[in-house]
Structure 1
């Protein structure tokens, strides 16, 4: 989510206010967008830039996150038996240290920490690829965070049904952000990082973007990416649960083996079903 200083970002009332503006036709935009999506696995950022209009205009939208909203985050525990995970300090439930980030993510470069969440528990599983390969045999920690200060976030990839160059490229970005890396590779993250530069944070709100989820067409489900410092200012940690096996969590049949509250006190899952439902949006 680093903002490149090579970009000039402006809110405009009409594209014709841009000096030297030249239209790209709808046909050109459709062909270019199709090329990007069909070649996302190996298309370079330089090739992407050559396909985009010289003055790149996108649809934009803002989503409100009221006080009390719940955002969730999953993390693989690295073990198949959660009891072998060892001690987790409080910082383990927040963002990864920047020095530990060795690869591109949807909105981060190597060496950059971004705090990723979603507003749906099963979506957090998809985002960490819990259902693929060896991941499905690992235990997972699902953590809940409550919005303590209302904020707004720009939605990356917001689009509508209109036929315009701006909407064609906005829809392209929506689709690209939902591409899973296990199919399209990490190159798709390089493209999404570059394209995020065309979006602005909402003035007066934290440095945060909302963006489309992987493998989910439900418009109500959204991913959220925070600059970590702002996440701590706008979110309160409200507890975690351990889900021991993906195989036991298919179709929403989630098993909770362990739980702790916001103060890291151990909570008996079977005696606190309402608390789990209210904070993690799951029933078991």
Structure 2
């Protein structure tokens, strides 16, 4: 079950930013038909043929009114103790695995392997993509039935402040009662959700240039002061959220619990997971250590594993 986020508007700098921008007044002046036309025009663009500057300008024309960014910032908090998950495909069930063998494999991908744009990263830029919902993480990677994968688990050492992109708003808390203001802002929110939950296939990674630009240009507030990470809707379930960290912040805020090596087996249990073994810590050579289900290491790191599969070598 996904951890509950706590709304927060308690940062004085956040209040001052909103006061100066006067977004509510700005939203009340926007013509919904004109905004709809701008969004429709954006949807027809051939992103693959556009330069970074052209993409920047096209986004600006949608998200800004008279040159000013027209969306509210939506900062939420995940409480300390929240579990976050990262899922990786494995190459077969051999342990240690080619894709999961050393300590670094628990964390963000080595930048040298990142040759294309990702949802929020440029080529060569490594970010840690997680979700507080394990099923959401599995869906994001498109794990298929009987396919082996590793589910890496972290625990938040303190609260995690996320900048929600396209997330739900509590307009009452913001003091917004004007129906037109809500309508316009929800049009923006819908546009953002669509861009960040777009199902991008192999060969069309250039589409990620839009979400990467939006995140870095409009939703990147002072780290550790206002935000610790970005949050955005899942492709597979738009009611769930992914949380993306810069590596240095992830290593500061998250403690590594370990990982479960699994297969998807829907007939086994409601979760549909068969846990083959667990990985907890590393040896003196930085190699990941693996333990059987039922071991003390498994009981300490993953006490929630209660339905054990047949014994596996580890």
User: Per the shorter chain, which TM-score range?
Assistant: 0.7 to 0.9
The normalised TM-score by structure 2 is 0.71
For the Cα contact (< 8 Å) 1:71–1:120, is it kept in 2? yes
Cα offset, 1:71, TM superposition: 0.3
1:193 match: 212
121, 125, 130: which one pairs with 1:108?
Answer: 121
For the Cα contact (< 8 Å) 2:85–2:154, is it kept in 1? yes
Q: Distance in 2 between matches of 1:60 and 1:238?
A: 32
Q: Distance in 1 between matches of 2:186 and 2:254?
A: 33
150, 153, 161: which one pairs with 2:162?
Answer: 153
Change (3 A) 1:40 1:130: farther
Determine helix, strand or coil for the equivalent of 1:204. Answer: coil
Cα offset, 1:194, TM superposition: 1.2
The structure with more radius of gyration: 2
Determine helix, strand or coil for the equivalent of 2:17. Answer: coil
Q: Distance in 2 between matches of 1:208 and 1:110?
A: 19
Cα offset, 1:181, TM superposition: 0.9
Is 2:254 the partner of 1:235? yes
Q: Distance in 2 between matches of 1:213 and 1:147?
A: 20
Determine helix, strand or coil for the equivalent of 1:13. Answer: helix
Higher relative contact order (CA 8 A, sep 6+): 1
Change (3 A) 1:32 1:183: farther
For the Cα contact (< 8 Å) 1:22–1:55, is it kept in 2? no
Larger mean Cα displacement after TM superposition, 55-64 or 177-186: 177-186
Q: Distance in 2 between matches of 1:251 and 1:243?
A: 15
Q: Distance in 1 between matches of 2:307 and 2:80?
A: 20
- Structure 1 residues not aligned, in runs of 5+: 1-8
276, 290, 304: which one pairs with 1:266?
Answer: 290
Change (3 A) 1:188 1:248: farther
For the Cα contact (< 8 Å) 1:118–1:224, is it kept in 2? yes
Determine helix, strand or coil for the equivalent of 2:18. Answer: coil
Determine helix, strand or coil for the equivalent of 1:123. Answer: helix
- Residues 190-217 of structure 1 deviation map (CA, whole Å, 9 limit, x = unaligned): 1101111211436625641111111213
Determine helix, strand or coil for the equivalent of 1:180. Answer: coil
1:209 match: 230
Determine helix, strand or coil for the equivalent of 2:185. Answer: helix
Query: How many equivalent residue pairs?
Result: 267
2:78 match: 65
2:18 match: 12
1:56 match: 69
Q: Distance in 1 between matches of 2:73 and 2:268?
A: 36
2:109 match: 96
Bigger strand share: 2
Determine helix, strand or coil for the equivalent of 1:255. Answer: strand
Larger mean Cα displacement after TM superposition, 240-249 or 168-177: 240-249
Q: Distance in 2 between matches of 1:159 and 1:43?
A: 33
1:27 match: 33
Change (3 A) 1:64 1:27: same
Cα offset, 1:157, TM superposition: 1.4
The normalised TM-score by structure 1 is 0.78
Q: CA RMSD in A?
A: 3.7
Cα offset, 1:255, TM superposition: 0.8
